[in-house]
Structure formats: C-alpha cells, structure tokens
Structure 1
Amino acid sequence: MSTVNSVKKVLVATIQELSVGIGKRVKVEGIELALFKQEDHTVHAVENKCPHKGGPLSEGIVSGEHVFCPLHDWKVNVRDGQVQAPDQGCVNRYDVEIEGERVYVYIE
C-alpha cells in the first residue's frame, strides 16, 4: 500500500482472481467494493451497495458494462457508477490500476 496526498493505493486482487461477467467482493479500509473485470481486460471498482436498498452489487448479474442489483434489478454502470434510467442515483466508483498481474484500487 502506498499513500499520496491522503489517497491510498491498495492491492485488492490479482487478475487471475477475477472473471469476466462475475463480480468479486473485497473490503478495503472499511469500504466494501465490487470489482468487475470486463471483456477488454479492464477492471472497474464500485461501492458494493446499490443506492436503492443496499443490495450487494458483487452478487448481481453482469451484462457488458452494467451490473443488475440482485435485490430489485436496478442497472448500474460499473465504469461510472451511474444508475440507469428509469431508476436514479449512483454508487461511488474508485480508480483502478493494473500492474502486471496485480490489481490496485485508490482509496481516499
């Protein structure tokens, strides 16, 4: 873990631990995150809590760059955290960096 201006770079997984189309739950600095590996091999991190009723997004069905909350099927974009219409809201998203096989998330 490294720190720059109160932002921490935290190792959260390796690429081998992530599968396209399946979320992974990790807890970092007291924050529960959902990691999503995309077909283009990018990885995205969002808060693992749907803004509607707190459903665990890491357990949702993934379709492209969206995850569907397992509780009430809200559709959340994993790249920007925005809930898709007709529902409204967003979840926090976190910057991700991949170095070799290691996946890091930046936490404030």
Structure 2
Amino acid sequence: MTDWIDIGAINAIPQRGARCVNTPNGKIAIFRTADDQVFAMDNRCPHKGGPLSEGIVHGASVTCPLHNWVFDLSTGTAQGADEGQVRTYPVQVMDGRILIAPDVLMEVAAE
C-alpha cells in the first residue's frame, strides 16, 4: 500500500482514547494506547452497535460502552466468553502523524 492518507496528529488523540474518521459507509475508530500504539477498526460493536470509540481503551483492547464486550484492537476479535469480530484496518504513525491507506477508505465506501 502506498500513498497513505494523513488523518491527523497522534497527539490529537489522548493516550487510551479514540477519535473517528467519517467515511461514506460509516465511521472508523482510531485508537491510541497508553504506549502510543495506534489501531483502527469499525466504530460499531457487532453485539448491539455500540460506539467503540466511546469505550475504555486498556492495554491493546477496547471495551464497548454499552454491554462491556472487549475487543482486541489488533485483530478485532471479541475476548472472553463473547463471540464476534470487528473489522480492523491498517494504520501507521510517521513523524507524529497517523496515516491510513487510501484503498481502505475506498473499500469501506464501496460496501
């Protein structure tokens, strides 16, 4: 993947926080962990549609604010006894900026 799109400064997202990127087909949540890792996934919990960007980020996981389902930020897989998966997207940080591949945004828009 080349020609990554700059979607903002890493410092615009607090540690253990999230922000959203709007696409024509919905929102992608961008998460920042306490150790400055960055992850991206759909902003919708598969259980009841909760906004994951409003959940609690702990380690490399996020807990849905509606019913406490926990998802691995790198794989999107539900943890513990819960089942399901959230779609994840590749992101990278370069020179303090968060980058996402343009084909990710086009792929989401095409669905």
TM-score in same-fold range (> 0.5) = yes
Q: Does 1:77 align with 2:80?
A: no
Question: Could you tell me which amino acid in structure 2 is paired with residue 92 of structure 1?
Answer: R
Structure 1 gaps of 5+ residues are none
Question: Could you tell me which amino acid in structure 1 is paired with residue 25 of structure 2?
Answer: G
Distance (whole Å) between structure 2 residues aligned to residue 30 and residue 13 of structure 1:
20
Task: Look up the match of 1:40.
Answer: 35
Distance (whole Å) between structure 1 residues aligned to residue 62 and residue 16 of structure 2:
9
Q: Point out the structure with the larger strand share.
A: 1
Task: Look up the match of 2:16.
Answer: 21
Q: CA RMSD in A?
A: 1.8
Deviating above 4 A after TM superposition, structure 1's stretches of 4 or more consecutive aligned residues are none
Alignment TM-score, normalising by the size of structure 1: 0.84
Question: Could you tell me which amino acid in structure 2 is paired with residue 59 of structure 1?
Answer: E
Structure 2 gaps of 5+ residues are none
Q: Does 1:89 align with 2:84?
A: yes
- 1:101 positional shift: 2.0
Aligned length: 103
Q: Does 1:57 align with 2:18?
A: no
Question: 1:19-72 CA deviation, whole Å, 9 max, x = no partner?
Answer: 111121221353311111123322000110001011000001111111111111
Distance (whole Å) between structure 2 residues aligned to residue 27 and residue 72 of structure 1:
24
Question: What percentage of aligned pairs have identical amino acids?
Answer: 36
Q: Point out the structure with the larger helix share.
A: 2
